[in-house]
Structures are given as structure tokens and as C-alpha cells.
A and B are shown apart, each in its own frame.
Chain A
Amino acid sequence: MTDMSYSPPRSGNRTVKIALRWTLYIMLGLFALFYLMPLFVMVTTSFKSLDEIRTGDLISLPREVTFEAWRTAWSGACTGIQCEGVRPFFWNSVLIAIPAVLLSTLIGALNGYVVAQWRFRGANLFFALMLFGCFIPFQVVLLPMARMLGLMGLAGTIPGLIFVHVIYGLGFTTLFFRNYYVSIPSELTKAAKVDGAGFFRIFWSIFLPLSLPIIVVTVIWQFTQIWNDFLFGVSFSQAGTQPVTVALNNIVNSTTGVKAYNVDMAAAIIAALPTLFVYVVAGKYFVRGLTAGSVKG
């Protein structure tokens, strides 16, 4: 609604308008090119044979297109003794990411709702403590966390990894929801309370329906962070619970082995597909919130 087509007819010079529109699309297109550049390199490399890559022309279209690298990356590349590609590790990542994203988003939404709308003494202090927690470097968390997981009996397990991801995601999810809810007028909550609605009822029937765009942002952030996490995944897993990033790392990162760049690139793109899927699906709900109408109504 903030777009130019809603401007009053007063400025109605059609040619200026069309020119503006074109400039807009050209700018968006140029940015898209910048963002796509590395993907171009990755995709073309993944379609080359290793012999062609070895001749040294790394940034050029493939002379001969082959899908071999994709097949290898999915189901044939060695990630250790096992040579079954990234496929067997996908399920572990799914089992970790989905519960962790849902839990941390839900808790974050409730936290944000309380901090923004049910202000009590100390609520802001809580929020500040939470935010500062976003900055704790994971490298130093690793060792004490390993000890805690051991004490809790969660070492090397998928619930352990979910637990860790929820804990270190809470700061961000709380931040996103609080900063979104804080701009919703508090009269809304007050009016609902007068009408006899309780804490959860107000959250469920008033706030949640308003939250689509921020839920999308939160899910995008959390899913990306958790799916792409390597440090926790490698440290708190054991044989059988390793996530896909560890498999990808094992394919890509060999110091003294022969490098297969085409397989590396294909594996990286395959490993990113679920995240891209989330972007596309969640993106559909990137619609204008219903704030205006429902608040006034």
C-alpha cells in the first residue's frame, strides 16, 4: 500500500510513472545478478567433469554437461567409510531442525508477547539479559555445554541437539516477536481484558493472527541457523546422529585427499534445498499484516 500506484492522481504523468517503474525493475534485476553470481559459479562447476576442472578454467561454462557430480553428491560420495553421499544424513537434520524451530518460535512468541504487552517490573531487564545472550560466542559455550549434556544424559543424542538449538535460539526469537508486538497498541490488550479474555486467549485470538510476517521471519532465521549449524552438530553428535552439515563438511574438507570441486558444489546445493524450500513456502505468507483493520475495528 505504500507503493506509488496509490499516489493521488495529481502526479499522474504516465511516462514518468512508466520510467520509474522500469528503473525500479532494472535496479532489482542488477541486485539479483550480484546475489546470483556465486551460484552461477557453483552450478556451472557442478556440471563439469573433474578432468575439465583440473585444466584450470574454473569460471566458465562447462564444455560438456554431466550430472555425474549430482548423483555422486546425493548417493555416492564418501563421508567416511560410508559412501552413500549426503542422503543418509538428511533425516537427522530434519529430526533436529523441525522440533527445534517450532519450540523456539513458540516460546519466543510467548516471551515477546509478555515483554511487549504485559509489562511488569523487570520485564525490560529480562529482555535485555536475553538480548545480550545473543552475543555469547558459541566457541566458548561448547565445552561447558558438553559437560552439561553429559550430566543430563543427552550427550550425542538428537534431543540433546534440539535442546541446545532451542536455548541459543531463544534470544533471537524473543527479540523478533517483542519488537514486532511492541508496535501494537496496548489498548488492544486492555480492551480484551475488560471483555474478560485471559492471557492465553488474547495471545491466541488477537496476537497470533497478526503475526504472520514475523513468524515467517523467525522461522526463516531459525531454520537457517539450525539447518546450517556445524559447530554444535559436530560436537554434540555421535555416529548415527550427525546432521547433514557434518556430512557436507566431510565431503568438502579433506586436507590430503583428491579434491572433487564438482561434487562439493553439488552437495552444497543439495544440502541447501530444504532451506530454500522453507524460504519459498514461508515467503508466501509474507503478506501485509492485518494490523490496521483489526486494531481499529
Chain B
Amino acid sequence: MTKWLEEHMPKLVLAPSFIIVLIFVYGFIGWTAWVSLTRSRLLPKYEIDGFIQYDRLFSSPRWETAFSNLFVFGFLFIVIAMILGLTLAILLDQNIRTEGAIRTIYLYPMALSMIVTGTAWKWILNPGLGLEATVRGWGFENFTFNWLVDPDMAIYTVVIAAIWQSSGFVMALFLAGLRSVDQEIIRAAQIDGIPTWRVYTAIIIPAMAPIFLSAFIVLSHLAIKSFDLVIALTGGGPGYATDLPATYMYTMAFSRGDIGQAASSAMIMMMVVFAIVVPYLYSELRVKDD
């Protein structure tokens, strides 16, 4: 009996999580798929009515903007935050005396509620109040930084604020990774006279491949769920130039009582995630199995 228990312990440990994920993730995705085929308004309804919600979604110019913003925003945010996070982690891993303080400074943006930091950013980025006005006050009359009020550029201010908020955590993730790399190998490489940058590119970074996966998942999660950020910083504006699928979905579901429409946008969003994440996961997990 104990032997049986010991043998099956790994599976028994996973079982509760497995059941929970089946119900509360996949069950709910199924629910969303169902609702996306109905004409649900204020509250969910369950009479199937075909693909009407998808038709509406694809003929909405606002969704078009939100959807293409996701790619611009998601790509820039993930790539820059990843590079910045890794850079900061490597810089901070050089026996810095004040590491604790600096690390906390890089991390703190994540602790602050975006409802309020959004206001601070809004002032900083507003040409009349913030950076532009200040630099002009220093005598550089031609300095212009008006992305926030320019419908074509506003999405990049969302990228800046998002990177500010999350890159500290990516740094923490990489820092933990750097500190789990086998020291012996590094020392051996250094004794062999291999230059430091080569130690990083050839030994340390490849050893951290799983950490990149963690960072990628966390960042893409943040990218597709960026909501408070957009609401607080631009409110989706100018016009709806900085709308993202998450804000579109929330607006439809809760401000406009159009739950069927919200469900269809959620399905499209998840399909996109599926298309991007699954190949990555496949290659990543595949290698480990060999």
C-alpha cells in the first residue's frame, strides 16, 4: 500500500491542480466559446445564434484598432522589457554594494497601483505640463515630446509606461536565474581566460533558457491583459487610438452590456495567444525531453 502510494505520489500531487485547471480554465474557456455564439447582453444567455458576434466584431473599426495595437504594443513591450530586464540583472550581478536599494528602485513600479501612477505619467507625458514644458523651460525651445496627444504615437507612451512598470520584475526573474547557474563552470571558464562577455553569451545565457520561457510567459500575460495601464494613462484615447483587446473586452462586457460581443473578442484573443505560445512551448518542452 505504502509502496503504491510512493509510486503514485507525483501524480497524486498534481491531481488537484489538474482538476482545478480543467474546470476553472478550460471549462471557462468552453463557457466563453458558447456565450460568444449567443446574443447575450447584460447577463449571459445560452440560446445559440450562430456567428453573429464574430461578424459584428470584424466589422467594428474600433476592434480593428485594438487588435493591431495588440501586436505593436505586445511586440515592443515584450522585446524591450526582456532586453532591459536581462541587462539590468547582469549589471546588478557585478557585486554592487547597494544592490538591495537599487533592486528595490527597479522593482517598486510594480507595487504601485496603476490607477494613480497613470495620472503621474499622464502629467509627465503631457506636453503642456511635463517633460516637454520642463525641457523648454531650460531653454530648449524646440524640444517636442507630444506622443501622448498624437493619435499615431500615443500607443508608444503606453509601451513606455508598461516597460517602466514591469521590467523590474523581469530583472528579478533573471537575477534569480543568474544565481542558479553553476558557479564551477563559470570559474573554470574564467581560469581558462575566456573574456567575461563570452562567459555570458556562451555559458550563462544559454543555461538560462527556461528563465526566458518564464519571462516570456509573464510578459505576454501582462501584454494581453494590460488594462489598468491603458485606462489610467490614455483611457484608450486620443479617440480610441490606444484601445487594446483587453479594454475592448471590458468595455463591451461591463460598460455596454454586450457580453456576447465581449466573449467573441476574448475567443479571438485566445486564438492569437494559442497560435503564438503553442509553437514556442512545443519547441521548448520538446528539447527538454530528449
Binding site for B on A (CB under 8 A): 1-8, 10, 24-25, 27-28, 31-32, 34-39, 41-42, 45, 58-59, 107, 110-111, 114-115, 118-120, 123-124, 126-145, 148, 167-168, 170-172, 174-176, 178-180, 182-183, 198-200, 210, 213-214, 216-217, 220-221, 224, 227-228, 230, 245, 248-249, 252-253, 261, 264-265, 267-269, 271-272, 275-276, 279-280, 283-284, 286-289, 291-292, 295-296
- Given known pairs A58-B123, A183-B180, A221-B169, the reply for A133 and B191 (CB within 8 Å) is no
Q: Can you identify 22 A-B contacts, CB atoms within 8 angstroms?
A: A2-B196, A6-B187, A35-B106, A59-B123, A114-B14, A123-B10, A133-B21, A136-B28, A136-B270, A139-B246, A145-B28, A183-B207, A200-B9, A213-B179, A228-B111, A248-B113, A248-B116, A268-B112, A268-B115, A286-B103, A286-B175, A296-B184
Contact B102 A272 (CB under 8 A): no
Q: How distant is the Cα of A295 from the Cα of B181 in the complex, in angstroms? A: 12
* A265 x B116 contact (CB < 8 A): yes
B17 in contact with A130 (CB, 8 Å): yes
Alpha-carbon gap, A133 to B27, bound state (A) = 11
Contact A138 B225 (CB under 8 A): yes
Q: Does B4 contact A (CB under 8 A)?
A: no
Tell me whether A35 and B250 are in contact (CB under 8 A): no
Residues of B within 8 A of A (CB): 6, 9-11, 13-14, 16-18, 20-21, 24-29, 31-32, 43-44, 88, 91-96, 100, 102-113, 115-117, 119-121, 123-124, 129-130, 133-134, 164, 168-169, 172-173, 175-184, 186-187, 190-191, 193, 196, 199-200, 204, 207, 210-211, 213-214, 217-218, 220-221, 224-225, 227-228, 246, 249-250, 253-254, 259, 262-263, 266, 269-270, 273-274, 277-278, 281, 285, 288-289
- The answer to whether A126 and B169 have CB atoms under 8 Å apart is no
Contact call B108/A137, Cβ cutoff below 8 A:
no
B187, A279: Cβ atoms closer than 8 Å: no
> Once bound together, how far apart are the Cα atoms of A1 and B178, in whole Å?
10
Please give, as numbers and ranges, the residues of chain B lying within 8 Å of A284 by CB-CB distance.
100
The verdict on A199 contacting B266 (CB below 8 Å), with A1-B186, A284-B100 known, is no
**Pairs A-B, 5 closest by C-beta atoms:** A268-B116, A179-B210, A275-B111, A213-B176, A133-B25
> Are the C-beta atoms of B9 and A271 separated by less than 8 Å?
no
Partner of B115 from the list A128, A214, A252, A280 (CB cut-off 8 Å) is A252
A111/B93 in contact, CB under 8 A: no
Which residue on chain B has the smallest CB distance to residue A134?
A: B221
CB pair B14 A220 closer than 8 Å:
no
Give Cα A286–Cα B13 distance, bound, in whole angstroms: 28
Within the complex, the shortest CB–CB distance from B65 to chain A, in Å, comes to 18
Interface pair B281/A131, CB less than 8 Å apart: yes
Q: Which residue of A lies closest to B36 (CB)?
A: A140
Contact between A59 and B182 (Cβ–Cβ < 8 Å)?
no
Q: Quick check: B25 and A216 within 8 Å, CB to CB? A: no
Instruction: Please name the residue on chain B nearest to A295 by beta carbon.
Output: B182
**Contact: A136 with B124, CB < 8 Å?**
no
* B10, B11, B31, B288, most chain A CB atoms within 10 A: B10
Bound state CA distance, A194 and B56, in angstroms?
Answer: 62
Whether A179 and B175, one on each chain, are in contact in the complex, defined by CB atoms closer than 8 angstroms, is: no
What is the bound-complex CA distance between A115 and B36, given in angstroms? 34
Pick the residue among B18, B93, B285 that contacts A3 (CB under 8 A): B93
CB atoms of A271 and B113 under 8 A apart:
yes
Q: A182 CA to B207 CA in the complex, in Å?
A: 11
Are the C-beta atoms of B281 and A174 separated by less than 8 Å?
Answer: no
A141 near B28 with CB under 8 A, answer yes
B179→A268 contact, CB < 8 A: no
Do A283 and B259 form a contact, CB below 8 Å, given A135-B221, A249-B115?
no
Task: Give complex CA distance A232, B178 in Å.
Answer: 34
Separation in Å of the A170 CB from the closest CB of chain B? 6
CA distance A172 to B220 in the complex (A): 12
Question: Is B109 a contact of A38 with CB atoms below 8 Å?
Answer: yes
Q: Are A110 and B13 in contact (CB under 8 A)?
A: yes
Contacts of A130 in B (CB 8 A): 17, 21
* A124-B277 contact in complex given A6-B190, A170-B21, C-beta closer than 8 Å: no
CB pair A140 B266 closer than 8 Å: yes
